[in-house]
Amino acid sequence: MKKRLLSFLTLTTSVILLAACNVQTEEQANNDNSDVSTGETTEKTTIELLGSSSNETDMNIVRDQLIKNGFDVTLNTQPDYASFQTQKEAGNYDLAISSWTTVTGNPDYAVRSLFTTDGDNSDLSNSEVDALINEAALQTSDEYTETYKELEDVLVTENAYIVPLYTSLKAQAFNQDLLNPDSIRLAKSRAFPWETVQFNETASNDTEPLILTQQIGDLTSLDPIKGNDGSINQLNTNMYVRLVNLTDDDQVVSDGSLSYNHAIAEGNSDYYFILRDDINFAAVEDDQAVDTGKMVSGQDAVFSLNRAKDPNSVPDHRTYSLHEHIDSVSLVTDLAELENASLSDGNGTVKEALEANLESPIASVVEDAAQVDNASGQYQVVKVTTTEPFPQVLNYLAHQSAGIVSQEQVESINTYDVENFDISTDIPYGDQRAVTEGETYDNHLYASGPYIMTQKNDYEATFQKNPAYMAGTEHAAQIANVTVRFIGDADSALSALRSGEIHLLAGLDETKYDVVEGEDSLSLQSMPSNGVTYMLFNANGREVSVSADLRKSILYSINQDELSAAYDGLKLKAYSTVSPLVDTGNELVADPAKVEEFYQNYLDSIK
């Protein structure tokens, strides 16, 4: 099969910058400090730039641009993500190169965790930022563009809390000699789904493992609410079913989820989900995935979402802010409620929407999971009520942190007292120690999704398909075994793909597209992503922490065109983390005159 990029790439390459960006050495950059607008450059303060070795290209370009504008720059380059985080938490930086991918497909996720006061990934505290984020969250897509523009103005234009660098393409490459290209999905936001993948030789689906890769092998947690990072997003997305899913182009659907259908009631505060009864939890016994015989029930869904929204349900809860707009979660016990509730668009009742295309219409709604029998019309219906009208709640319910866990199993493992939790002695549900081979191995996972992890080590993690996950339907897992190799270096991962050691590589750098295109056995998929790379200022203890003028002087030193040129012109402009989702019209343009103006303002303020 002929390898191809999506048509987007053809369009993009037609507008590649005329001049490529030649990354200078620090000595060369220091010899070219003239201000292009004045012929002069003010010698400025030293900026410590923190990043990891995977960001080396960006660090070098940013260093050169800052030096050209008169700044002295110290690079703090860490070998891996863990050491980068250690340096960041220690505050050893003025600017840190960061990235964020909006895996839920909605703009609220692109900003809430990162920039709200007390957000789980935020060091900022600005009441105006908080107010604008909360205002936009309650608006529809037709209404929130102007609000997000105002947010960007406060966040970037007025305060320069971040320095946007670019939006990336999302790309993956796979071995088309082994894998069926028609079974390989590329989703804009959600993690790569495994259950659809098939080998070209279908007999291999049961005998050969699908071999994938990810950079991080130190797993935050296999409890969906305790992690939201690159170590577990792919894994938890494939181990836990949710009430809804995202399509590859970010539409919220029930397809392949725990619900047959979902409906929004009039007022946009009540959301209903009619549950399927053909998913059981899987467990691991003697290194094999087994059917526990325990249906993934409405009670499990209610339990999972209640703990997801409660910041005190587990120690080190990292995703509660994604679900703070959930007021209550319950099971519907009166069919009349569904019959009497009108849809938000006015086109019928909730009951009519929920039973659309069901093989058996709704005869009754039941609370007791033992009474569920979809074939005879006995269903469970979960109702989620939000604190206020909040259409974006559905996107959050498609996020891996809303994965459905077993109430019985989690409560049997999490017997510790949350306030007195001791990581040295307590092993909570989802702790990687429970699945790591060796003395600590005691696999306690219950998976509601298409796969379950059997074990891991420093090199890889192995998974088997859930034998009781939508068996006999199009959503059942096709390949019996999956192995995820932990390869921290991107070039090494690409070499592993080319040599056949792995079958699919996600997150391919734009500068490597031509390598993949040069291999007859490989196929490349690419599309614009929701991933934005930016620089975050240290919010505490540095000059940049207190001076907006100093931050803006740095902001206007950055030339995004030069950054894109270093990636063959395939990086897209960004102004904030919402740029891929909302066109606000804002654009960062490098301006040496503004660099000098704001730096002079900074000097005047400290005299």
Give percent of the chain above pLDDT 90.
Answer: 83
Q: What is the pLDDT of residue 354?
A: 98
Q: Cα angle vertex 563, ends 84, 535, to 5°?
A: 35
Query: Could you tell me the maximum CA-CA distance found in the chain, to the nearest angstrom?
Result: 81
Question: Which phi-psi region, left, alpha or beta, contains residue 267 (left: φ > 0; alpha: ψ -120 to 50)?
Answer: left
Structure tokens at 537: 């200022």
Inter-helix orientation angle 592-605/548-555, to 10°: 160
Tell me the pTM.
0.83
SS (HEC) of 242-292: CCCEECCCCCEECCCCCEEEEEEECCCCEEEEEECCCEEEEEEECCEEEEE
DSSP 8-state symbol, 158: I
Q: How many CA atoms lie within 13 Å of 78's alpha carbon, on the beta-carbon side? A: 18
- Beta-carbon contacts of 441 under 8 Å, excluding residues fewer than 6 positions away, are 434, 435, 455
pLDDT tens figures, 217-256: 999 999 999 988 889 999 999 999 999 999 999 999 999 9
- Do 296 and 304 touch, CB atoms closer than 8 A? no
Rounded alpha-carbon distances, angstroms, from residue 248 to 170, 229, 245, 253 = 12, 20, 10, 11
What whole-number distance in Å separates Cα of residue 324 and Cα of residue 503?
A: 39
Q: How many CA atoms lie within 13 Å of 532's alpha carbon, on the beta-carbon side? A: 25
pLDDT tens figures, 147-170: 999 999 999 999 999 999 999 999
- Give the mean model confidence (pLDDT) for residues 184-204: 95
Return the residue matching tokens 């409405």.
298
Neighbours of 73 (CB within 10 A): 21
Residues 440, 443, 444, 450, CA torsion sign: positive
* Alpha helices (H) along 344-389: 350-354
* Alpha helices (H) along 500-591: 513-517, 543-546, 548-555, 560-565
- Do 348 and 268 touch, CB atoms closer than 8 A? no
Q: What is the pLDDT of residue 407?
A: 98
Q: How many CA atoms lie within 13 Å of 84's alpha carbon, on the beta-carbon side? A: 20
Q: Which of 3-12, 85-94, 345-354 has the lowest mean pLDDT?
A: 3-12
Q: What is the pLDDT of residue 141?
A: 82
Q: Name residue 266's amino acid.
A: E
Return the residue matching tokens 């990581």.
423
The helix/strand/coil state of 100 is: strand
pLDDT at 46 over 70: yes
Q: What is the pLDDT of residue 509?
A: 86
Q: What is the pLDDT of residue 321?
A: 84
The helix/strand/coil state of 10 is: helix
What whole-number distance in Å separates Cα of residue 317 and Cα of residue 338?
A: 34
The arrangement of strands across the sheet holding 270-275 comes to: 259-264, 270-275, 381-386, 326-331
Q: Name residue 562's amino acid.
A: E
Residue with the bigger pLDDT between 229 and 274: it is 274
What whole-number distance in Å separates Cα of residue 251 and Cα of residue 394?
A: 10
- Do 165 and 567 touch, CB atoms closer than 8 A? no
Rounded alpha-carbon distances, angstroms, from residue 575 to 114, 151, 260, 432, 597 = 15, 11, 38, 37, 21
Long-range CB contacts (within 8 A, 24+) of 456-459 = 456/217, 456/219, 456/432, 458/217, 458/486, 459/217, 459/485, 459/486
Q: pLDDT band for position 40 (50/70/90)?
A: low
What whole-number distance in Å separates Cα of residue 402 and Cα of residue 144?
A: 25
Question: Which phi-psi region, left, alpha or beta, contains residue 103 (left: φ > 0; alpha: ψ -120 to 50)?
Answer: alpha
The separation between the first and the last C-alpha atoms of the chain, rounded to the nearest angstrom, is 67
- Beta-carbon contacts of 415 under 8 Å, excluding residues fewer than 6 positions away, are none
What whole-number distance in Å separates Cα of residue 427 and Cα of residue 166?
A: 40
- Do 126 and 108 touch, CB atoms closer than 8 A? no
- Beta-carbon contacts of 352 under 8 Å, excluding residues fewer than 6 positions away, are none
pLDDT at 21 over 70: no
Structure tokens at 349: 């009742």
pLDDT tens figures, 560-589: 999 999 998 999 999 999 999 999 999 999
What whole-number distance in Å separates Cα of residue 273 and Cα of residue 264?
A: 9
pLDDT at 38 over 50: no
Structure tokens at 357: 């295309």
Domains and CATH numbers, the chain: 42-169+528-605 (3.40.190.10), 179-486 (3.40.190.10)
